[in-house]
Each structure stands twice: as C-alpha cells, then as structure tokens.
Homo-oligomer: A and B are copies of this chain.
C-alpha cells in the first residue's frame, strides 16, 4: 500500500516540519540555527538551562516540551536519527553562554548516546559547566541498558521546574536522576507505521497479534501474543511494571499513558480506567497522571505505560506550572 502522508520532499521533511511548528507557536518557541528549537523568551541568566537531543518523527516530542518550566533547547535530528554532535555542542555553548550551566537530558538509544558522549567530551574540553542524565526505563530491556521512552517527559518536567526555581546544576541533576531511577515504562504495539522518508513499514505484526515491549522505532519486544482486551492488556502491563519497580502498598505513583499515534484517546481512557481501579484495589495511590500523545511513532497503533514512584518533592515539582506547547497535566 502506498504511503498516505501529507508530505513534500522527504529530504526537506525535518526543516519544514520545524518551520511549521515555529509558525504555529510564535509566542512560545523559535528556531535557532538548523533544526534546534529554543524558548521564544529565554530563561533568566544564572538559571540552569535544560537541553535535549533526539530524532524527529515522534511529534510532539521532543521539541514540543520546550517552554518555561521544561526544556530550553531541543536539538532535533532527522527522522528517527540522532542529531550530529556539532549541533549539540553548539546548543550547549549557547545554553552556557553567560557563564551559565546546562543539564543535558538524553534518552538511551545508541545513536543519541554516541552523539551525547562526543558532545560531553567537547563540553569538558571547552570548560562548559554541563552535566548529563541518561534516561532509560523500558523494562523490556536489560537493567543497565534500558531504552529511554516517554518517561523523559517526567524528567523534563521535574528538572525543568527545579531549574526554573533557581536550583543549582547539582540539584537539577539529582532531581532528574531520582525521577529516572523511580520510573518504569512498558510499550505495546498492535499495528505498524510507515517511515515517512523511506515509505516502508517499520515492523511486521500479524493481523491478530500485539507485541509487548516494542521500542519507539519498531525495535523487537519481549512478548508477541494474541490481541487482548483493554482490561487484560492494562493488567498484564501494569503487573509487570509494579513488579519491576517493587511497588508496595501505600506508595504514590505517577502514571503516564502515551499514545503511539493511531491508538485513540478512547482506548487510552479504557486502559487508564483499568489501571486506576487495579491500583485502588492494591491500595497503591494514584498521585498524578497524564494521558495523551507525548512521543509518537508516526501512525503506529499501541501505547506506552509509565509508572513512577513519587515523593513529596517530585510531586511538588510535577505540579509547578509549565508552558510548553504540548505538555498538559491532569
């Protein structure tokens, strides 16, 4: 089947989509150089700037979270591909330009980590005051090398709130690390997407199958099985997440449900309903939640479920206002 997407020249896809994004949100964001998104109104001098990097094709992520209370810089790569290190270094220089400091938040994917490591080495040589947090919370991967999925949004949120309040680079780093340690994500896919630059499907899946643990770019998961109901799927995924994080009665959780692209909000509501009821029955507190499309994989059908153990400081930071184009709290 022919790719049915509204695009122009695939080679110009990323600059064009970012140009459209900037035209749509002129009061909030603007473009810097090639394909880097920055806040329209820069953060006050002396406060820690948050920088992220990652491939495009996941809109609204990652650049949709640039704004007061969240990110200061998002260095966008080509579709599903990390940006080159030179552009990341440029962003860090800019973030540190007035003797300031920056927290670089990177999702654990091989290409992104490679670019980030080169960038951090260059930053050290230049004497820039930068720390890096690598997010990785996908429980379908091995401990120590788990992929970074939608949980990065929670890290942006709490570290961004701390930075906005004038916390030091060390404090922002520790808040981000704690959020990262406290969270777990599991994805499920039921229908593939078409790569907008190549026109090819990014994975294959049977007509009656779903796959648990699939990554954000069609990376293989851990469990292929017959399609389940909303309640069954919610239960399978939540149980795995609770076990992996070792959640106890009385713990307070943040729950994120992230639609992959074509899965409807209707379905996410059904999944959320079952998650909320299961937590209630287990005497685990649903402290906060967010539900919608945060990091997509084109028109893939499926979703990511994230749980995170919250403490009073993380809840306070989560509740602080943020004004990024595509972040909204419940």
Contacts and interface: CB of A to CB of B under 8 A. Distances in A.
Interface string A266-304: 111111111011000000001001011100101101010
Contact of A8 (B21, B57, B229): B229
A24 B272 contact: yes
A270 B6 contact: yes
A87 B23 CA distance: 42
A59 B268 CA distance: 10
A20 B57 contact: no
A325 interface: yes
Interface residues of A, number: 67
A279 to B, nearest CB: 10
Nearest to A276: B23
Contacts of A4: 190-191, 207, 210, 227, 301
Interface string A248-267: 00000000000001111111
Contacts of A21: 269
A62 to B, nearest CB: 12
A230 interface: yes
A190 B190 CA distance: 21
A18 interface: yes
A94 interface: no
A111 to B, nearest CB: 19
B24 A291 contact: yes
Contacts of A271: 6, 20
B263 A24 contact: no
Nearest to A297: B264
A7 B299 contact: no
A6 B263 CA distance: 8
A59 B263 CA distance: 11
Nearest to A5: B267
B230 A7 contact: yes
A301 B301 contact: no
A70 to B, nearest CB: 14
A20 B265 CA distance: 10
23 contacts: A4-B210, A4-B301, A6-B228, A6-B233, A6-B303, A7-B270, A8-B229, A8-B230, A8-B231, A16-B230, A16-B269, A20-B271, A23-B286, A24-B269, A56-B266, A57-B266, A261-B262, A262-B299, A264-B296, A265-B293, A292-B326, A299-B301, A326-B328
Interface of A: 1-2, 4-8, 13, 16-21, 23-28, 56-57, 59-60, 64, 190-191, 196, 207-208, 210, 227-231, 233, 261-274, 276-277, 286, 289, 291-293, 296, 298-299, 301, 303, 325-326, 328, 330
